[in-house]
Amino acid sequence: MAKPIICKKCGTVYSSAQTICPKCMTRRPLSTEKIIGGIAICAFILILIGSLANVFEEDTSNIVSEENASRVVIDENKNKNLKVGDTLDANGLKITLNEAADWNGNHSRYSQPKNGYKYIRVYFIIKNTNSSDRYLSSYDFTCYADDAKMEEYIWGDNTLESGKISNGRNIQGYVYFEVPKNAQKIEIEYETDWWTDEKACFKVK
């Protein structure tokens, strides 16, 4: 309901429905209620903007985290799908699977493969790029044929020697395994992290 207002400048009485004095054209000051209402509206808008900014920041963080997770998965998958000719960087050891083939070499009649089995050999070249010596053994490599663990054959030629590798040096040689003749999948695993049991995998077949 409109109320009478007295102009503070010229003393004219006019209705509160008017915002300007009809005589001197002086604008009527805002009421306390309107000032408080305006402040409340501004505060609400600021809170709303802040909330939207936090939501956007969280969404962006999630996107970045998902991208990083994707990179990790890709890197892990890469080490799970190595093939002949690939090089694995395992904590400063550059391990290259140079060759993989069946072997019908100089085993005697006393060391023939079991019935239905054959020997394979894989040739590794391993360089130590660390600043200190590293130890490596042929037993660090495990063969699986169709997901079953296979036995290592130790009587082959030019076998990979076990022992320390000086920094900047390399060793190379064959590792032999006995596998089924009809194996559909042959893989060589190497444990890249002793603490976490993380492994890399070379696909031989």
- Cβ–Cβ < 8 Å for 119, 151: no
Task: Report pLDDT digits (tens) over 130-178.
Answer: 999 999 889 999 999 999 999 999 888 899 988 899 999 999 999 999 9
CA–CA separation, 118 and 114 (whole Å): 7
CATH topology for the 82-203 domain:
Immunoglobulin-like (2.60.40)
The predicted structure's pLDDT at residue 20: 73
Tokens read off for 38: 């305006």
Give the domain ranges of the chain: 1-30, 36-80, 82-203
Tell me the pLDDT band of 181, cut-offs 50, 70 and 90: very high
Task: Report pLDDT digits (tens) over 103-127.
Answer: 987 666 667 898 999 999 999 999 9
SS3 content of the chain, % helix, strand, coil (to 5): 25, 40, 35
69 pLDDT above the threshold of 90:
no
The predicted structure's pLDDT at residue 123: 97
- Cβ–Cβ < 8 Å for 204, 101: no
The predicted structure's pLDDT at residue 67: 45
The predicted structure's pLDDT at residue 61: 47
Q: What is the mean pLDDT of the chain?
A: 80
Could you give the percent of the chain with pLDDT greater than 90? 43
The predicted structure's pLDDT at residue 195: 79
The predicted structure's pLDDT at residue 33: 53
- Cβ–Cβ < 8 Å for 97, 86: yes
The predicted structure's pLDDT at residue 54: 59
